[in-house]
């Protein structure tokens, strides 16, 4: 087994473990720091997928901006309440069942995918999307519909968040 494969599995397990801790913790500060570990782990996995530009963008935008803002917002808020439900409450059991069924569907879908060339196999030519110019070219030519749809979706989410936050 190659060292790159071992490191990939270690970082995948750490990212998955941090995500599970994020879902199960009741302390919001610990959840925010666990979210930091998840975002950094995903950025490392993007590096293994030869998507360095996306990894650096994720670190700068999500970790550097959004998460720091979230952590400061949580720490500067003096009071916050968490409704304590039992781990085996009926609502949580329904959520667990839905998550397991969704995970089963994803596993079935992933088994149907034929992967051609993983990033850690030597002597394999992989498309280079690491330069910002190439990413911008493909976003404005081949993927313009998805790019515009994501922009509209983000605008609708921003308007919805402003509407919800404005109501008293």
pLDDT per position as a tens digit, 50-102: 778 888 888 888 888 877 777 777 777 655 555 555 566 777 788 788 888 98
76 shares a domain with 33: yes
Could you tell me the CA-to-CA distances from 78 to 46, 69, 81, 162 in Å, in that order? Answer: 36, 16, 10, 22
Please tell me whether residue 68 adopts helix, strand or coil conformation.
Answer: helix
141 shares a domain with 75: no
Q: Which domain holds residue 97?
A: 3-130
167 shares a domain with 111: no
Q: Are 8 and 48 in contact (CB under 8 A)?
A: yes
113 shares a domain with 98: yes
Task: Write down the pLDDT at residue 126.
Answer: 52
Output the six-digit token pair for 1.
Answer: 């087994």
pTM: 0.55
Instruction: Find all residues with CB under 8 Å of 59, minimum gap 6, and list them.
Output: 39, 40, 43
Output the six-digit token pair for 25.
Answer: 């913790």
- Count of C-beta atoms within a 10 Å radius of residue 41: 20
150 shares a domain with 72: no
Kindly compute the dihedral angle of the four CA atoms of residues 7, 12, 15, 20, in this order, to the nearest 10 degrees.
-140
> pLDDT per residue over 8-66, tens digit each?
888 899 999 999 998 888 887 788 888 888 988 998 888 888 778 888 888 888 888 87
Question: What's the mean per-residue pLDDT of the chain?
Answer: 78
Could you tell me the CA-to-CA distances from 68 to 16, 60, 153 in Å, in that order? Answer: 21, 11, 24
137 shares a domain with 126: no
Task: Write down the pLDDT at residue 161.
Answer: 75
54 shares a domain with 109: yes
106 shares a domain with 168: no
Report the number of distinct structural domains present in the chain. Answer: 2
150 shares a domain with 68: no
Report the CATH number at residue 79.
1.20.120.1200
98 shares a domain with 144: no
168 shares a domain with 95: no
81 shares a domain with 141: no
């Amino acid at each position: 087994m190659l060292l790159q494969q071992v490191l990939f599995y270690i970082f995948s397990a750490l990212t998955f473990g941090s995500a599970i801790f994020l879902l199960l913790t009741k302390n919001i500060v610990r959840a925010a720091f666990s979210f930091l570990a998840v975002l950094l782990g995903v950025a490392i996995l993007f590096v293994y997928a030869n998507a360095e530009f996306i990894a650096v963008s994720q670190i700068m935008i999500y970790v550097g901006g959004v998460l720091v803002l979230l952590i400061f917002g949580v720490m500067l808020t003096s009071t916050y309440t968490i409704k304590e439900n039992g781990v085996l409450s009926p609502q949580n059991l329904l959520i667990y069942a839905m998550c397991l069924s969704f995970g089963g569907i994803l596993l079935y879908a992933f088994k149907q995918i034929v992967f051609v060339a993983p990033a850690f196999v030597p002597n394999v030519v992989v498309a280079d999307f690491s330069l910002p110019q190439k990413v911008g070219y493909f976003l404005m030519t081949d993927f313009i519909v998805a790019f515009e749809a994501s922009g509209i979706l983000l605008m609708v989410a921003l308007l919805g968040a402003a509407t919800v936050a404005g109501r008293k």
